[in-house]
Structure 1
Amino acid sequence: MSKIRFGLIGSGWRAEFYIRIAKALPEMFDLAAVMIRSKEKGEAFSAKFGVKVVNTLDELVEKEPEFVVMAIKRGIVTENLITLFERGIPVLTETPPGEDVEALHQLWDAYQKYQPKVQVAEQYFLQPLYASWYKAICDGKLGEVENINISSLHGYHGASIIRQFLRTGFENCRIYGKRYWFDVTETYGRDGMVFDGEVVKCSRDRLTMEFDNGKVAYFDFSDPAQYHSFIRTRQLTVQGTRGEIDDLTIRYLNAQNIPVTQDLRRIDLGVYGNQEWSHYAVMLGEEFLFRTPFINARFNDDEIAVASCMVKMHEYINGGEEFYGMADALQDMYICLKMDEALEHPVTVVETQTQPWAQK
């Protein structure tokens, strides 16, 4: 594979992921330049991260990236995406692509008009654990998957995993539930673990999603504790006709209908005396369910997933298939908005309607 040359728009926390990835694998990724409109801010950013910074889109295009990564504030994504569509610039954009239903429709109209080369960096299904769970589903270990209980991801990220794992496509659904509030002790901050014992209020959203094809999702997310806590963890259960995923345990029937129980085993290099430091694989018994595409790269799980998005974007614009296209991104954000609507009207059924991007 040729070196992947990309441009970057943005200077926030997520933009830094792409810079770290490019620096960690210079033989694979080539960061042409970062676009920051403010000259003063751009100069400071360039000095801090050791990257070339430009101040206009024209200057970025002059660096000849094969695609641009857009990692900017949520509220201005839609208008900037449409600008790139109009100019025919291939773009990998961070989530979500729009903030409300009107913006989603505006984006779809622009997509239909300009037919751009665009994918969305919804990365969670490419993380080692989620990819391993999905491989077990695709291998048929669970039989026909019928329900999922997911307590790990918020909003559109959760919707993406629900639709993919249940294979519901663009099916409509009925959503109902409620938001609760509970006290939790802080354990984690920007500088690592905290020990002051501060107790804060934390929301917990519980929603049921019933799809037209009979499949059901139970959504459970606690914000902000679930992403940043040592005493609130992630949980996932997926049940099918022949087995279930119970977080790190998978139970299934083999070809002779003998029940098998196995645990996922993560293989990381550089622990307990090993000289390297990187993730290598996730195994179930003697099977590899996931192996990193970036051997010996010092990436965390999210960096593996984001780097995979860039590789898949390179493949897509060179004749490959979509990996997370505009229709899927819009559908997941649309479901997220309907989830929010259900939370605003506790224990009231909210129904989704077929949107333009879902029509065949």
Structure 2
Amino acid sequence: MSEIFTRSGMRIILIGYGWRSLFYYRIIKALPERFTLVNWVLHSKQRAEQVKQQYQTTTSFDVLEALSYPHDLVVLCVPSLSLQSLLPTLIECGETILCETGFTQLSLQTLSTIYTLYAQSQSRVFVAEQYYRYPYFQTCDALIPLLGPITEVRGACLHDHHGTSILRHFLGEGGGNCSITASSRTSWVVKTGGRDSVDTEGIRIPTKHTTATLAFEDGKTGYFDFAGVAYHSSIRSRHFSLCGERGEIFDDTVRYLNTQNEGICQVIKRIEDGVANNSPLSLRAMAFGDTYHFKNPYWPLGFNDDEIALALCLEDACWGKGYSLSEALQDSYLAQCIHRSCNEQKTIETQTQVWAKALWREKEQ
């Protein structure tokens, strides 16, 4: 698909409107040499006209009409119920799709039906599970050789399928089965903010805290730990750790054995411009020792980590690679099993799903 980059940019149709879709709009507009928005599809004629006027772009309220525009990729950014109907339509049209992660809310039967349709099609579906493309997590990936074989991953930073995707990614699991033992409790915490706000009123709110142990058949273990306020709280921290036979990563601290089996401790550092000077505020790189293990390809643009990761997901889809539909379905299935374990108060033994063979093939490539 390299011919895409010989044109003015990857031609994108964006379907959906809301907080998440605006991430894609900002990325596309900030990178005109890489991406071109050829049509933005909304759910009604009124909303299409509103978005056309506000963002000065071509819009439509009919998916099939929008698909008549020359394009390279369809970005599907809609709620779960709309995803359930729109994704099969796009698959049947043979589209290359970057789809948002709305699968956990759909039934297991629906997930299986979608995958079966996809496996019989000429479509290519990638999913915008952006967290493994975060600068921090890419740096952790690069440092795994220091740690030796990974045995345990603990993620107290991401919810549902996002959390299971990080566990499965770093454990190197494909469609392997596991035993899931989970529990959930509600407690009180003072609200400190939201997506776009800071709250100083001192209001107490209930928050659900879910923990789960995923014991895989190959002996590796994932620990899922998430509290509902974690994304937007200034008094609840987030945590990630990797344990290997020769070392560990604990948030930004790396402990490992050197070639003489002596213990070494070093720190992962963010190299950011514009923090204490008048340069544009932008992440330049992630450093460990004297090496940059992640260089921001969009520097010096002021992208946050979510925008960097989503832009990389867009580029991955352009090159015909990325987080696959089978991965998304497996991680959503594992998240559903965590919920089942909490609700039924028992250990859940996962079962091999219809997409498992594809997962193992992808892992071997």
Calculate the TM-score normalised by the size of structure 2: 0.93
Aligned to 1:286: 290
Does structure 1 residue 36 correspond to structure 2 residue 42? yes
1:243 positional shift: 0.2
1:190 Cα shift? Answer: 4.6
Q: State which of 132, 137, 142 in structure 2 corresponds to 1:130.
A: 137
- 1:226–1:233 CA contact under 8 A, matched in 2: yes
- Three-state SS of the structure 1 residue aligned to 2:319 is helix
Inter-partner Cα distance in structure 1 for 2:199 and 2:53: 31
Q: Give the counterpart of 1:96 among 102, 117, 141.
A: 102
RMSD after superposition: 1.3
Q: Find out whether 1:304 has 2:308 as its counterpart.
A: yes
Q: Contact 2:191 / 2:199 at 8 angstroms: preserved in 1?
A: yes
* 1:173 aligns to 2:178 (yes or no): yes
Secondary structure, in 3 states, of the residue corresponding to 2:351? coil
Residue 114 of structure 1, CA deviation? 1.0
Which residue of 2 is the match for residue 20 of structure 1?
Answer: 26
2:150 is the counterpart of 1:152: no
1:283-330 deviation per Cα after TM superposition (whole angstroms, max 9, x unaligned)? 0111212111212122110000000000011111xxxxx321111111
AA paired with 1:229?
S
Contact 1:25–1:297 at 8 Å: present in 2 too?
no
Residue type at the aligned position of 1:21:
I
3-state SS in 2 of match to 1:114: coil
1:243 paired residue among 247, 253, 276: 247
CA distance, structure 1, for counterparts of residue 97 and residue 277 of structure 2: 42
Number of the residue aligned with 1:80: 86
Amino acid at match of 2:335: C
Which one of the candidate residues 183, 187, 206 is aligned to 2:211? 206
Q: Which residue pairs with 1:217 in the alignment?
A: 222
CA distance in 2, matches of 1:210, 1:191: 37
1:51 is displaced (CA, Å) by: 2.1
The whole-number CA distance in structure 1 between the counterparts of 2:185 and 2:329 is 27
Aligned to 1:115: 122
Question: For the residues of structure 1 that align with 2:142 and 2:44, how far apart are their CA atoms?
Answer: 44
Aligned pair partner of 1:46 in 52, 55, 58: 52
- Sort the Cα spacing of 1:251 and 1:276 in 2 relative to 1 into closer, same or farther, 3 A: same
Mapping for residues 57-72 of structure 1, pairs under 5 Å: 57-72=63-78
Q: 1:217 aligns to what SS in structure 2? A: strand
Could you say what secondary structure the match of 1:311 adopts? helix
Structure 2 Cα separation of the partners of residues 191 and 129 of structure 1: 23
1:323 is matched with which residue? 322
Contact residue 70 and residue 94 of structure 1 kept, 8 A: yes
2:352 is aligned, of 351, 354, 357, to 354
Percent identity, aligned pairs only, is: 35
State how far apart, in whole Å, the 1-side matches of 2:170 and 2:164 are: 10
Offset from partner CA, 1:254-278 (integer Å, 9 cap, x none): 2222211111110111110142221
Distance 1:45 1:247 in 2: 41
2-structure distance, mates of 1:73, 1:240: 38
AA paired with 2:38?
A
Cα distance in 1 between the residues matched to 2:325 and 2:233: 32
State the Cα deviation string for residues 217-258 of structure 1 (Å, max 9, x = none).
Answer: 1111001x1011111121011111000011110111122222
From the superposition, tell whether residues 198 and 82 of structure 1 become closer, same or farther in structure 2 (CA, over 3 Å): same
**Contact in 2 for aligned 1:95/1:120 (Cα 8 Å):** yes
Q: CA deviation at 1:189?
A: 2.9
Contact map agreement 2:128 2:310 (CA 8 A) in 1: yes
Cα distance in 2, alignment partners of residues 61 and 350 from structure 1: 42
Secondary structure class of the residue paired with 1:293? coil
d(CA) in 2 for partners of 1:264, 1:203: 31
1:263 alignment partner AA: V
1:319 matched residue in structure 2? none
Question: TM (normalized to structure 1)?
Answer: 0.95
Kindly indicate whether the alpha-carbon contact (under 8 Å) linking 1:24 and 1:298 is maintained by their aligned counterparts in 2.
no
Q: Contact 2:195/2:232 (CA < 8 Å) preserved in 1?
A: no
Residue 177 of structure 1 aligns with an amino acid whose one-letter code is A
Between the aligned partners of 2:282 and 2:56, the Cα distance in structure 1 is: 24
Moved more, 302-311 or 271-280: 271-280
Rounded Cα–Cα distance in structure 2 between residues aligned with 1:28 and 1:145: 36
SS in 2 for 1:218: strand
Whole-Å separation in 1 of the counterparts to 2:303 and 2:81: 29
Q: Deviations over 1:75-119 (max 9, x none)?
A: 221221110011112111000346120111011110122131111
Q: How far off is 1:191 after superposition? A: 4.1
